[in-house]
Amino acid sequence: MSSGGDIFMPVQIPDDSDFSSFKDQCLNADGWISRYNKGGGDGVMRIVCKDVTAETLYDVLHDTSYRKKWDTNMIDTYDIGRLTVNADVGYYSWKCPSPLKNRDFVTMRSWLPLGNDYLIINYSVKHPQHPPKKDYVRAVSLLTGYLIQSNGANCSTLYYLTQVDPRGSLPKWVVNRVSQFVAPKAMRKIYKASLKYPEWKRKHNPTLKPWMFPEQNTLPCINVADLTVQRADSLENIDESGLSEEKTTQSDDEET
């Protein structure tokens, strides 16, 4: 614990029971569920991906080089360091609809191939060398991730679960837009990107998959003791609830 009443929560790297719990949450949800509280939201979404193997989906969600090709809402993403053979820490920033401030995250991500399933989960952490930035609102992932299930030789189902606190009171139009348009379109983008990935990967370091082959990982090691859980109540909370939507073409309307 720290002085001044703040509680420093140690970072726990997910174990098998955490992955099993995450899988249960994905499978027990019925369609897209949104529950927004003070601008935050929980959601589970599912899409069936024909002509895409589960392994290809898994690769697409891991491959940061390829992400820059299809994630048009992303401003920047990079890996900070590794914790174990299947856990690392990374940075991600994304465009918010104008005139809102853009958001960013620092998260601990962990992954696990489990039989015919692949799981990726993350939650926000504090890293001493990556504090909040001036031009961004540091958002908090309470629990976000993907479950990929194989449906035979060349078909898979992707589940996306998110529990995020975007920090700040968001206008209703933002909440509606994210739940009705942005999230479903993002799922379709992942599907379309996965259809194109095998051809792209053949031309871009085809054997480089550090998420599958840990010996390829060249990230610096991070001591988990240097990290703490990012608590939402320790971050600035801004009020954007009065902002009106600007009638401009947004990047989430683009197709890959």
222-250 per-position pLDDT tens digit? 999 999 988 777 665 565 556 565 544 44
pLDDT tens, position by position, 147-159: 999 998 899 999 9
Question: In this predicted structure, what is the pLDDT of residue 238?
Answer: 62
> How far are the Cα atoms of 82, 95, 176 from residue 136, in angstroms, in the given order?
24, 10, 22
> How far are the Cα atoms of 7, 39, 67, 93, 136 from residue 98, in angstroms, in the given order?
35, 16, 23, 15, 13
Q: What is the CATH number of domain 39-231?
A: 3.30.530.20
pLDDT tens, position by position, 82-130: 999 999 999 999 888 777 788 899 999 999 998 889 999 999 999 999 9
Question: In this predicted structure, what is the pLDDT of residue 37?
Answer: 36
Q: Are 159 and 147 in contact (CB under 8 A)?
A: yes
Q: Are 232 and 97 in contact (CB under 8 A)?
A: no
pLDDT band at 134 (very low <50, low <70, confident <90, very high): confident
Question: In this predicted structure, what is the pLDDT of residue 142?
Answer: 87
**211 closest CA partner among 29, 49, 25, 58:** 58
Average of pLDDT values for 149-174? Answer: 81
Helix (H, G, I), strand (E, B) or coil at 221: strand
Average of pLDDT values for 8-28? Answer: 90
Least confident of 51-60, 71-80, 167-176, 201-210: 167-176
pLDDT tens, position by position, 179-224: 666 677 889 999 999 999 999 999 999 999 999 999 999 999 999 9
Model confidence at 38: pLDDT above 50:
no
